[in-house]
Amino acid sequence: MARRAAPPARRGRGTSGGAAPAASVLAPNGPTTTRGRRTRAALVGAARSAFEELGFRDARISDIAERAGTSYGVFYHYFDSKESILHELFTVVTGEMYVASQARGEPSGDPVEKIRAANRRYLAVAARNARLVATIEELAFREPQFRELKLRIREPFVRRNEAGIRRLQDRGVADPDLDAAMAATMLGGMIEHFTMLWFVHGVEYDEELAVETLTRLWARAIGLPVGGGTTPGS
């Protein structure tokens, strides 16, 4: 059945497998005390709620502080603007997406099944975070700092997928003439755009058919053999 676009209050790449840079590289620096970490986390969570419900432009710092159960002054102890807390929020969420979409299993396992599982996990986490990702996409067109943030945070995903393709090439199962870096960039862009259509713009797709089609496109693009069985819904 079709998965509907995520509701406004809670909305946001498949991979060929393997971890490249650790997800910890995406994590921001923060307070060293337990109380400080708890307060900062509350502010970030409140910012997410405010941005998703009110929109980035309309949400006020006072809205974030109120939702976090803190004061206006406490907000400024940790962040100097709405832009700075959005920067941290997006970094944290992207780290979660990186971990959630990590391919699992033995390196020598069936690569197509690993791609299928990773695509399924990525679609699930993209559905939860699409609204926030869409906010960054919008800001990236206008503000250099967010364009740089988007490209910097995208890089670990691309490098991980590139490394996965190279491993399959080394095993002799993927197209040896394929440029792994270019393929990783293009295939990642395909899935990013698809999730925006689905989870942000509200175009409905059948979940099983989407997973299967993405998997076939990805696998065949890098030269992996894919079974010729019927696809869901056929």
Determine, yes or no, domain membership for 228.
no
Question: Residue 186 above 60 pLDDT?
Answer: yes
Instruction: Name the residue range of residue 140's domain.
Output: 7-12+28-221
3-state secondary structure of 227: coil
Determine, yes or no, domain membership for 182.
yes
Q: Is pLDDT larger for residue 140 or for residue 219?
A: 219
The mean per-residue pLDDT over the stretch 113-137 comes to 91
With cut-offs at 50, 70 and 90, classify the pLDDT of residue 84.
very high
And the tokens for 3? 């998965």
Determine, yes or no, domain membership for 151.
yes
Query: What local confidence, expressed as pLDDT, does residue 28 receive?
Result: 53
- Alpha carbon separation from 3 to 93, 136, 139, 206 (Å, rounded): 21, 23, 27, 6
Query: What local confidence, expressed as pLDDT, does residue 108 receive?
Result: 61
Determine, yes or no, domain membership for 215.
yes
Determine, yes or no, domain membership for 23.
no
Number of structural domains the chain divides into: 1
Q: pLDDT for 22-38, tens place per residue?
A: 344 444 556 778 899 99
Instruction: Indicate the pTM of the whole model.
Output: 0.77
Nearest-angstrom CA–CA distance, 67 and 144: 29
Determine, yes or no, domain membership for 1.
no
Determine, yes or no, domain membership for 21.
no
Contact between 36 and 213 under an 8 Å Cβ cutoff? The reply is no
Contact between 116 and 30 under an 8 Å Cβ cutoff? The reply is no
Determine, yes or no, domain membership for 65.
yes
Nearest-angstrom CA–CA distance, 37 and 39: 6
What CATH code is carried by the domain that includes residue 179? 1.10.357.10
Q: pLDDT for 36-54, tens place per residue?
A: 999 999 999 999 999 989 9
Residues 6+ apart with CB under 8 A from 231: 209, 212, 213, 216
- What does the DSSP assignment read for 164-183? HHHHHHHTT-S-TTS-HHHH
Nearest alpha-carbon partner for 174 in 214, 117, 212, 218 = 218
Q: Is pLDDT larger for residue 151 or for residue 228?
A: 151
Query: What local confidence, expressed as pLDDT, does residue 9 receive?
Result: 37
